[in-house]
Structure 1
Amino acid sequence: MRNLLKRSFSGIIYVVLFITAILVAKESYIVLIAAFSVLCVWEFLQIIKLKNIVPYLFFGMTAFLMMMRPQSYAINGILGINLISCLFLIYQLLSKKEIKYETERQKLGFTIRYLIFSLCFLLLLPFYKGEYTPYLMIAILVLIWVNDSFAFLVGKNFGKRKLFVSVSPKKTQEGFIGGFVFSLIAAYIISLLNKDFELINWIIISIILSVIGTLGDLVESKLKRQANIKDSGTIMPGHGGIFDRLDSLLFAAPFVYLYINFII
């Protein structure tokens, strides 16, 4: 019970902070994501055992250039590299292959391709057609939070069949289905309130967030299992680290960005 109260309290602070930063101004959103990014990079470097300042500098430089020139063709190349890296991680997860990063150079490349580029696209998500659209970002967050919350609730109360026991013993197939279904319901409600996209687009976005987000969560769990740690950090009591809290959204961010900016 005490752990549940801790989890709920830190979760509420996280949600209020995130939504407030989004609604106040684009600058406050950028500052918040930049702060989260520094924490994520620090926690990730602890997981893969890399002590190097380059990832922080590379994130700052890449994020700045992408924000200054959002229409640059270089972003397409970065997106392609990020997507291929994520798809390869999914392959390694499903094929039960070890995610290898032995040398410092390999660890640095892995950090850039997987984490830093994903953080940059999380930064760009609310910018649609050159305009800052806060309610688009809030809708994306609601979809992934609904998926995560109902996956947890349904899995805890009705889960019997394990989803991926070798990586995350607590996740169940029933939990995944519950999160998926409720995120579709949330997508329908959002389509009534937010007219940026049609219903079919919100449904596809919810599917991307649910499926790719769950895979991202499992990839992070695999990385932590390989490193023999439970949580990426301790900054959020009951949740772990910021990387633990953002893993699903981070992994799905480049896929949602691709759909919103190149397919719709």
Structure 2
Amino acid sequence: MQNLVTRSISALVYAALFISATVYSLESYTVLIALFSAVCLWEFNKIVNNKSFVPFIILPLVIFYQKSFISDKIIIFLLAVTLLCSIRLIINLYSKDVKYPQNNFDKFDSSLRYIIFPFIFLMQLPIINGTYNPYLVIYIILLIWTNDSFAYLIGKNFGKTKLFESVSPKKTIEGFIGGFAFAIIVACVISNYSSLFSLIDWILIAIIVSVFGTFGDLVESKFKRQAKVKDSGTIMPGHGGLLDRLDSLFFLSPFVYLYIHYIM
């Protein structure tokens, strides 16, 4: 019971901070995501035992100068290399023998493409035609929460078929389908309150969130399993590390960005 109270308070503080900073202004959203990215980078480097300080030099430079150097060509290049890294990490899930990162270069590369580059897409995601749309981020977080919550509830009560037992023994196919279905239902509700996108677009965004959010969670689980750790950190009482809460958001952000800014 005490653990449930701790988890609930921790989650409420996190949600209030995230929503307030996101809605208040682009500047407060930037500061929040920058702080979250720094914590996640620190936690990730601990997991993969990356002792290099270079990523911690690159991240502040990206934070402070992204508006100056970001152009369409650079965004497309960064998007391509980030998506290639994401696809590689997904493929690695299907191989028990593949361990990544294996060397210092891999550790640096994964820090760059798993944390730092997705930060850029999280920052650019809600900016459409030069206008900051904070509720786009809120709605995506809502879809992630819906997918995760119903995947857990349905998986716990009805799950029998393991999704990726070698990586995350508690995840089931039934849970994944449940989370997927409810995310689409919530997307339909969102479309009634948001004029930003059409119903079809919101449904497709929900599908991207459900599929790649789940992969993001599995990828982080594999990193932790390789490192033989349960959580990425202890910054969120009752929940573990911040990366444990944001792994899905970081992983899916380039895919949602690709759809919203280049496919829609």
**TM-score, normalised on structure 1?**
0.96
- The corresponding residue for 1:11 is 11
Residues 66 and 75, structure 1, Cα contact 8 Å, conserved in 2: no
Q: Which amino acid aligns with 2:147?
A: N
Question: After superposition, what is the alpha-carbon deviation per residue over 1:165-222, rounded to whole angstroms, capped at 9, x for unaligned?
Answer: 1111111112111111110000000000001100010001000000011011001000
Which has the higher mean CA deviation after the structures are superposed, 233-242 or 150-159? 150-159
Residues 37 and 115, structure 2, Cα contact 8 Å, conserved in 1: no
- The corresponding residue for 1:117 is 117
Which has the higher mean CA deviation after the structures are superposed, 10-19 or 225-234? 10-19
- The corresponding residue for 1:191 is 191
1:97 positional shift: 4.1
- The corresponding residue for 2:64 is 64
Q: Which amino acid aligns with 1:139?
A: Y
- The corresponding residue for 2:161 is 161
Kindly report the root-mean-square deviation, in angstroms, between the aligned alpha carbons of the 2 structures: 1.3
Which has the higher mean CA deviation after the structures are superposed, 181-190 or 168-177? 168-177
- The corresponding residue for 1:34 is 34
1:102 positional shift: 3.0
Q: Which runs of 5+ in 1 are unaligned?
A: none
- The corresponding residue for 2:260 is 260
Question: After superposition, what is the alpha-carbon deviation per residue over 1:78-119, rounded to whole angstroms, capped at 9, x for unaligned?
Answer: 010000000011011123342322332221112112221112
CA distance in 1, matches of 2:119, 2:47: 17
Q: Which amino acid aligns with 1:48?
A: V
Residues 167 and 218, structure 1, Cα contact 8 Å, conserved in 2: yes
Give the secondary-structure state (helix, strand or coil) at the position aligned to 2:195.
coil
CA distance in 1, matches of 2:212, 2:7: 24
Q: Aligned ranges for residues 1-264 of structure 1 at < 5 Å?
A: 1-264=1-264
Give the secondary-structure state (helix, strand or coil) at the position aligned to 1:169.
strand
Question: After superposition, what is the alpha-carbon deviation per residue over 1:47-98, rounded to whole angstroms, capped at 9, x for unaligned?
Answer: 0101222112212222333333554311110010000000011011123342
CA distance in 1, matches of 2:200, 2:177: 19
Give the secondary-structure state (helix, strand or coil) at the position aligned to 1:179.
helix
Residues 59 and 120, structure 1, Cα contact 8 Å, conserved in 2: no
CA distance in 2, matches of 1:28, 1:234: 24
CA distance in 2, matches of 1:128, 1:97: 42
1:154 positional shift: 1.5
CA distance in 2, matches of 1:142, 1:9: 18
1:157 positional shift: 2.1
Q: Which runs of 5+ in 2 are unaligned?
A: none
Which has the higher mean CA deviation after the structures are superposed, 138-147 or 188-197? 138-147
Q: Which amino acid aligns with 2:59?
A: F
Q: Which amino acid aligns with 1:86?
A: S
